[in-house]
Structure 1
């Protein structure tokens, strides 16, 4: 099963002592209706960091300096019942950007308290790793989705070198 490459970035801020993350509600494509981080497919010859910078502008309307992206690990998503959805994702977080997040043709941005993520309105795997990553942790995990293409049936740790940028 071959997996295409994607990246995802979570913008973090602190407002009145409350830690928040920017998520976007997908308006089209894979995961329509779900809240997701900013990201997408890598283009030919593009690094995951370059793709993250491009996708943040395209989906969220803000600019990030590549050096401000904190690499937090990697995820392998396997969809045995729809192999074309299988993907390897590089995960970043950042606390620095220029501009104010704005709606795009792909996402409607919304800030959420890190302690109150809308996991029931996100891809099923997010509940297993995202809270820890947003609190400063790292992730190296594989998720196998079931026949419904929405529910994680298996999860296992990946070797940290497989989660490298």
Structure 2
């Protein structure tokens, strides 16, 4: 049975101290309290790219064009003790958009230089693949989380 599909977008800009990525403090739902990329579930009939455009607008009030989204790969997440959390995430990087990120009920956005990304506050898998993606690489990975629903117990990438 295929995993439910989600998408995540990492906006990148050149800041005064080098390349910066936009991440958000998750305020509700799965991942509440963690620092996450911008994204969410695909609606019925929606492609990952279409969902990414919609989710960025809904979560931080920024408009991205589908053609400006660079697909950087996909990750399968497995939660054997809570299978409803299992999902497949398509990862996008975007360097062009319109508008300024704003706080919403779901996300409080913050810019981080690449050497200051708060990996300890993110999902356990992020430090294993996100640095490479933010520097222009790709990801094709599978991660299985333990009974604590927080720690990666098996990862392949």
- The CA distance in 1 between the partners of 2:86 and 2:31, in whole Å, is 13
Matched position secondary structure for 1:23: strand
- The CA distance in 2 between the partners of 1:59 and 1:49, in whole Å, is 15
Matched position secondary structure for 1:99: coil
Q: Contact 1:71/1:92 (CA < 8 Å) preserved in 2?
A: yes
| TM, length-normalised to structure 2 | 0.98
- Where does residue 75 of structure 2 map in the other structure? 75
Give ranges in structure 2 of 5+ residues lacking alignment.
none
Q: Contact 2:17/2:113 (CA < 8 Å) preserved in 1?
A: no
CA distance 1:63–1:96, shift in 2 (3 Å): same
Give ranges in structure 1 of 5+ residues lacking alignment.
158-165
Residue 16 of structure 1 and its aligned partner are, at CA, apart by 2.3
Q: What is the root-mean-square deviation of aligned Cα atoms in Å?
A: 0.9
- Where does residue 153 of structure 1 map in the other structure? 153
- Where does residue 97 of structure 1 map in the other structure? 97
Residue 116 of structure 1 and its aligned partner are, at CA, apart by 1.5
- The CA distance in 2 between the partners of 1:91 and 1:31, in whole Å, is 17
**Greater Cα shift, 51-60 or 10-19:** 10-19
Whether 2:132 is the aligned partner of 1:132: answer: yes
- Where does residue 163 of structure 1 map in the other structure? none
Q: Contact 1:2/1:86 (CA < 8 Å) preserved in 2?
A: no
- The CA distance in 2 between the partners of 1:67 and 1:2, in whole Å, is 27
Q: Contact 1:6/1:48 (CA < 8 Å) preserved in 2?
A: yes
Q: Contact 2:27/2:108 (CA < 8 Å) preserved in 1?
A: yes
Matched position secondary structure for 1:30: coil
Q: Contact 2:145/2:153 (CA < 8 Å) preserved in 1?
A: yes
- The CA distance in 2 between the partners of 1:91 and 1:2, in whole Å, is 17
- The CA distance in 1 between the partners of 2:17 and 2:26, in whole Å, is 28
Q: Contact 2:9/2:92 (CA < 8 Å) preserved in 1?
A: yes
Residue 115 of structure 1 and its aligned partner are, at CA, apart by 1.5
- The CA distance in 2 between the partners of 1:85 and 1:17, in whole Å, is 37
Whether 2:116 is the aligned partner of 1:113: answer: no
